[in-house]
Amino acid sequence: MSKVSCEIIKDMLPLYYDDVCSDDSKRMVEEHLVECHSCKLELDRLKANFKLPKEEIEIIRNDRNVIKNISSSWNRSRVKSFMKGIIISALLFSLIILGYVGLFHWNITNVATDVVEIKNVSELADGKMVYYAEINDGYSLNTLKFDMDKEGNFYITPLRPIIKQEAQSLPLLEKGYEFIDIKEQEVVRGKEIKAIYYGTPRDKILIWEKGMYLPKASEEIENMFHFE
Ligand SMILES: [Zn+2]
């Protein structure tokens, strides 16, 4: 086997090192390196020169992956927090609206009876009971709730929102005559009404109870309930 010159081998070493030469060339270089110390040193020198860049490339590649991972997870978490932000904003907005509606329009607080005056409880010609109710704390009344318990106690509960509003110049519910059709209520509720209260079971004014005498309503009151 003719010995290949060191010059040729040294020319080929970079290709061998990069592993881009043919199998024949590779074998030839390896056979030469076993015998030639000088060429082996040359290869070691090549390795030493390229070692650092190769490692650096690896590091750079890793870094790039890390950066890619960071940026993609950052993107994902940014989308997440953006969606979170939208949801939280929507919830807050709903809460504010609910809070506003709740505080100003939700009729949940009952009016204490110490600001309520009930008078002129009487009976209309058609048999309905009529009474005058006045809430004199200067705030408007929004609604009346009707409830009856198992014992036949009927409660007319005046309700207003947590934030009460000043009474209007034309009072609606806070000042005036109201009637209740006892017989109709008994039919609707399937139970005899024993007493009618203004307020709640804990804080109430008795309007009427079974056996109580009801005077006939005055002509003036009678006329208020005839709308011909
Ligand atoms: Zn050689």
pLDDT value of position 1? 43
- Rounded to the nearest angstrom, the distance between the alpha carbon of 32 and the centre of ligand 1 is 6
Q: Is the pLDDT of residue 93 over 50?
A: yes
- Rounded to the nearest angstrom, the distance between the alpha carbon of 111 and the centre of ligand 1 is 110
Q: pLDDT class for 81, splitting at 50, 70, 90? A: confident
Averaged pLDDT, 212-223: 91
Q: Is the pLDDT of residue 66 over 60?
A: yes
- Rounded to the nearest angstrom, the distance between the alpha carbon of 56 and the centre of ligand 1 is 30
126 HSE (CA, 13 A, CB side): 13
- Rounded to the nearest angstrom, the distance between the alpha carbon of 4 and the centre of ligand 1 is 8
Please provide the average confidence, as pLDDT, over all residues in the chain.
Answer: 86
What b/e string do you get for 4-41 counting C-beta neighbours within 10 Å, with b at 16 or more?
A: beeeebbebbeebbeeebeeebeebbeebbeebeebee
Q: Is the pLDDT of residue 73 over 80?
A: no
The dihedral formed by the CA atoms of 205, 209, 215 and 217, expressed in degrees to the nearest 10 = 60
- Rounded to the nearest angstrom, the distance between the alpha carbon of 51 and the centre of ligand 1 is 22
pLDDT value of position 171? 63
pTM: 0.58
- Cβ neighbors of 185 (< 8 A, separation 6 or more) are 146, 148, 154, 193
pLDDT value of position 208? 94
Q: pLDDT class for 55, splitting at 50, 70, 90? A: low
Q: Is the pLDDT of residue 94 over 50?
A: yes
- Rounded to the nearest angstrom, the distance between the alpha carbon of 29 and the centre of ligand 1 is 9
What b/e string do you get for 74-103 counting C-beta neighbours within 10 Å, with b at 16 or more?
A: eeeeeeeeeeeeeeeeeeeeeeeeeeeeee
- Cβ neighbors of 67 (< 8 A, separation 6 or more) are none
196 membership: H or E segment, kind and range = strand 195-199
- Rounded to the nearest angstrom, the distance between the alpha carbon of 53 and the centre of ligand 1 is 26
Comparing 39-43, 108-112, 190-194, the range with the smallest average pLDDT is 108-112
Chain mean position to CA 112: 33
Q: Where are the domains of the chain?
A: 6-103, 109-224
Q: Is the pLDDT of residue 228 over 60?
A: no
Q: What percentage of the chain carries pLDDT values higher than 70?
A: 87
pLDDT value of position 157? 94
Say if CB 163 and CB 104 are below 8 A apart: yes
208 three-class SS: strand
Pairing relationship of beta strands 153-160 and 195-199 according to DSSP bridges: parallel
- Rounded to the nearest angstrom, the distance between the alpha carbon of 168 and the centre of ligand 1 is 112
pLDDT value of position 167? 79
213 closest CA partner among 104, 123, 124, 144? 123
